[in-house]
Every structure is written in C-alpha cells, then in structure tokens.
Amino acid sequence: MATDVIVVGAGPTGLMLACELALAGVRPLVVERRPEPQRDSRALTLHPRSVELLDMRGLAPRFLAAGTTVPGWHFAGLRTRLDFAALDSRHAYTLFIAQARTEALLAERAGELGVEILRGHETVDVRQDSDGVEVDVRASHGRRTLRAAYAVGCDGGRSLVRTAAGIGFPGTDETLTGVLGDFATVDRDDPGLKRAQAKGVLVAPLEDGFTRLVYLDPARMRVPSGEPVTLEEFRTSLTGLCGSDCGVDGPRWLSRFGNASRLAERYRAGRILLAGDAAHIHFPAAGQGLNTGLQDAANLGWRLAAEISGWAPPGLLDGYDAERRPVGAAVVENTEVQTLLAELTLVPQYERPAAALRTMLDEFLRTPEINRNLAARVSALGTAYPARRPDADPLEGRRMPDIGLTVAGSSATRVYELTGRGRFVLLKLTEGDEALPPAVEAGWGGRVEAVTVTGWEHHPELAGVSEVLVRPDGHVAWTSRTGESSERTRALTAWAGTPGAAARD
C-alpha cells in the first residue's frame, strides 16, 4: 500500500499525528530508530487542553484510567498554585501520567486505525522534489529508501529531518542543568525528604512503584548535560541540599537535562514539516513540552490530510506554521522566565532579591484575574489563533467550549462528542433552516458534518450566535449571528474547500 506521509519519530507527537492522519483517511507510516518502545519517561503530565484533544477523539477515558488527576498546577514552583478549576473546561486539572504510558496508549490507537510503525529503523537522510519526499532508513537488515508525498519530523531536538530540510534552529545554548532519577527505593520516613521538597526537589511517585526525584543543585548546575549522572552524585547532591540522601537506591534511570532554548525558523519547508521537539526545545518548566507537541499534531493532521486528499483551500497547510510557531515561541519564552526564577534563587548574590521577587509573584497570583490568565497559558486553554479577516467575530480562532447540546430529534450530547471523526462540525441553532444538514452534505460531504442543535443560547460566550463552524482541532473557524446562507457558503469554502470538489478515493 502506498504511503502518503512518513512520520519520523514514534514519540507522543509522532503517534498523535499518525492517528490524526489515519482518522482523516490518509496513509501514514511511522519510522522510529528505537527497536522497542521507550521505557523511561521524561514527561509525566498532560495538561487540560491535551486531555480535551483526546476527549474529542473519544480517547480521554483510556488516559484517565491510566493516570491520576491533580487539581491545578504550578508556575516556576511558586507556592500559589495555578487554578485550572477557574477555567471553562470539563478537564480542568493536570493528568499525572508517565510519557511511556501516553506513548503506549497512542500506539494502541494507531494500531486500531491501521497505522504501521517501523521500529528499529533509523532515518539517515531526507530529500524532497516537486512530487514527494524520499527518506533513507537504516535497519538491522540493511538500508532502504521510503517515498511519500510528505514527511514530518517528530524526531526530537536533534532532528535529522530539520537539518536535512535546511531549517535553522536559532536560540540560546545550555547554561543550566538539572538532574532526575527514578528509584526503586526511597526512604519515605526520612525527614530529609520533606526538607528536600522545601528546597524545591520534586518527589513524584510513579505508577510502577518507583519514585522520581528531580532537583537543581547549586554546586552542580553548570555541569554539561552530556556528563552522565551517577548514584554517588545524586546522593551527594541530596545530602548537600537537605542533609540526607533520603535513602535513594536501585536507580532505573538517571539523567541530566539542560535549559537550551531553540525555535525552528519555520515549521514547513516545501513537503517537509516539523512538530514537537523537532520544532521547539526548552527547559521542562511546568511540563509544557509534550503537551505543545500533541497540540502541534492536532493542528497539523487535518491540514495535511486535506492537502493530500485534494480539497484543501489555498494556504490551509501554510496556516500550520502561521498558527503554531507563535505558540512555540510563547512556550519557549515562558519556560525561560520560569528557569530564570529558579536559577536566581541558587546564585548567592541574587538569593535575597530572588526570594523577594518570588514572594511578590506569589502575591500577584492570588489575584484571580492574574492567576486565570497564567493558568490559561500553561494549560493551553487560552490558545487562540489569529482570525483570517479584520472584521471576524471575536470567537473565531478561539477554542470551542465543550458545552452541552441537544441534537434536533435526538438526545443530549456535547460538542466534543460530535468531533470523533476528525471533520469540521457545523452547528446550527434549530430556529429556521431545518434543511441545513442535507444542504451541507451535498456540497461538502465527508468534510463537514452539519448538525442542528439547541442548548448553547444561554452560554455567555455564544450569546447571539446562530451558527458555529468548529475545526477538526476544536477551534472556531467561523461564526454567524445572522444565519445568512451566503456567509455560510463563503466560510465553508474558505475552510473546507470548493463545494462538490472531488477528493481522492
């Protein structure tokens, strides 16, 4: 079977993208250099918007069953927590779930959708021409060349795909490193453990009985990330921080990580695109990296599928870079701020003013409006894309809330339950045009699902709105307050292509 898209990298971003592409009817192939799924998990959290994206595809129950919900989150480890519950979401929490588990669940879904994953295949070169992309891979049985219409680099911060495409990766080099360790044994009764947490050491129980500890050691924070971590170093650092090594033993994984921050100059070069860490890297402050990658994949998948299927309107695929690169830049920026706040407390000459600054910021976060604004940024619930027109409705580009609805002639539902097939969804209040669904199906069948509903008229954000076109990634493409059919046709054509256009079989 021919391949439409080669996805390089079977991490969360690559697997999410493959699922989105397959759901849209195109044929992805995932190539991964590791022969087996990754066991160790650098990331441990899914934020509200990521859980919402999974909910839109009917996957949230699987992830919720495998993780633990945590109310709110933090910014730079400040004592005043970010209040996710103040945000308008059914998933206003952090889901504590190991990256390896996230990957396993996404791989399971990819298998259900018929996605092939070639493990133990290292990508060694990528080339493109006017008709497609060639990807050279090396495996235990030799080297071969794969061909597809497009390739997407989801292959991490050292992305070979990005380098081969000639995309620059400017930013700042590493100046600070932290250390993490997953241990079979930690003395929970050791008073030093509480002292360690007071000193900013993260102590997190993992699902398999191991415990993760993460710290910044002032005496070792300039050690390059490439230098291996030893158990002796870990114990010495803990003792220096809190007077005890907390009984850590039986390490499964010890790792050092740095604060290099970089953003790809562009997310697309012809038929080659980037997503996840291949497009942006930063210090893992507030656990935003994996989440940003999943959201990249959700934005890119439907656009790329539309291009391959032959109905994409002009500029649709370029909209990926236009929308997601600014988001990547904002995440890099806020993680740099958080890293600086942490670093200043470890430098003796800045320790006192840094403590005063953190106290001041804690006070600011007690102001509901400030807390809600920052919570919306970190959770990504506040992500809004620029509207296409200067006179666009204020809702356009914003995330569509998952409000309860009643489908005409049917039972109660909610917005995200209507998005499971990854298509545009046109919602119309039942007043007036009862012929809307068949009319839309006749022009945009297979691309847009039109549903007449009741139930949103009392939602504050949607007061006065008669129609909403929801994009496959859950953002608002267009709204109407007049119900004029000519406006609807223009909006559908701008987003879902020419009516009646033949998509490929």
Q: How far apart are CA 264 and CA 328, in angstroms?
A: 9
Q: How far apart are CA 129 and CA 107, in angstroms?
A: 30
Contact criterion met (CB below 8 Å) for 93 and 71: yes
Residues 280 and 360 in one domain: no
Q: How many domains does the chain have?
A: 4
3-state helix, strand and coil shares in percent for the chain, rounded to the nearest 5: 35, 25, 40
Residues 203 and 129 in one domain: no
Q: How far apart are CA 392 and CA 78, in angstroms?
A: 38
Q: How far apart are CA 212 and CA 252, in angstroms?
A: 10
Residues 414 and 492 in one domain: yes
Task: Mark out the alpha helices in 312-379 (DSSP H runs).
Answer: 319-344, 351-365, 368-379
Q: How far apart are CA 115 and CA 102, in angstroms?
A: 17
Q: How far apart are CA 306 and CA 149, in angstroms?
A: 13
Query: Residue 397: inside a domain, yes or no?
Result: no
Q: How far apart are CA 380 and CA 132, in angstroms?
A: 34
Q: Domain ends where: 383, 412, 443?
A: 383
Query: Residue 241: inside a domain, yes or no?
Result: yes
For residue 306, give Cα distances in angstroms to 231, 496, 504.
51, 8, 10
Residues 491 and 411 in one domain: yes
Residues 52 and 162 in one domain: no
Task: Give the CATH number for residue 242.
Answer: 3.30.70.2450
The kind and range of the H/E element at 255 are strand 249-258
Query: Residue 322: inside a domain, yes or no?
Result: no
Distance, first Cα to last Cα, the chain: 14
Q: What is the pLDDT of residues 335-383, one digit of tens each?
A: 999 999 999 999 999 999 999 999 999 999 999 999 999 999 999 999 9
Contact criterion met (CB below 8 Å) for 211 and 183: yes
Per-residue pLDDT of the chain (505 residues; tens, 9 = 90+): 689 999 999 999 999 999 999 999 999 999 999 999 988 899 999 999 999 999 999 999 999 999 999 998 999 999 999 999 999 999 999 999 999 999 999 999 999 999 999 999 999 999 999 999 999 999 999 999 999 999 999 999 999 999 999 999 999 999 999 999 999 999 999 999 999 988 889 999 998 899 999 999 999 999 999 999 999 999 999 999 999 999 999 999 999 999 999 999 999 999 999 999 999 999 999 999 999 999 999 999 999 999 999 999 999 999 999 999 999 999 999 999 999 999 999 999 999 999 999 999 999 999 999 999 999 999 999 999 998 888 889 999 999 999 999 887 778 899 999 999 999 999 988 765 556 777 787 889 889 999 988 887 778 888 889 899 999 999 999 999 887 888 999 999 999 999 976 555 4
Query: Residue 338: inside a domain, yes or no?
Result: no
Q: Domain ends where: 195, 230, 258?
A: 258
Residues 247 and 120 in one domain: no
Residues 200 and 234 in one domain: yes
pLDDT at 505: 43
Query: Residue 335: inside a domain, yes or no?
Result: no
Query: Residue 321: inside a domain, yes or no?
Result: no
- DSSP-derived pairing of the beta strands 28-32 and 424-429: unpaired
Task: Give the CATH number for residue 146.
Answer: 3.50.50.60
Q: How far apart are CA 323 and CA 396, in angstroms?
A: 13
Residues 288 and 249 in one domain: no
Q: Which residues contact 281 (CB under 8 A, 6 or more apart)?
A: 157, 171, 260, 261, 262, 289, 332
Residues 266 and 285 in one domain: yes
pLDDT at 434: 56
Tokens matching residue 68 = 């633990």
From 331, 435, 444, 344, select the one nearest 382 (Cα to Cα): 331
Prediction pTM value: 0.96
DSSP three-state, residue 419: coil
DSSP state string for 124-191: EEEEE-SS-EEEEEEETTEEEEEEESEEEE-S-TT-HHHHHTT----EE----EEEEEEEEE--TT-H
Residues 28 and 53 in one domain: no
Q: Which structural domain range is residue 3 located in?
A: 1-37+105-174+259-309
Residues 135 and 25 in one domain: yes
Query: Residue 240: inside a domain, yes or no?
Result: yes
CB burial readout 118-151, b (16+ within 10 A) else e: eeebbbeebebeeebbebebeeeeeeeebebbbb
What residue has token string 């000639």? 166
Query: Residue 486: inside a domain, yes or no?
Result: yes
Residues 110 and 167 in one domain: yes
Task: Give the CATH number for residue 409.
Answer: 3.40.30.120
Tokens matching residue 227 = 């230098």
pLDDT at 504: 52
Q: How far apart are CA 258 and CA 255, in angstroms?
A: 10
pLDDT at 327: 98
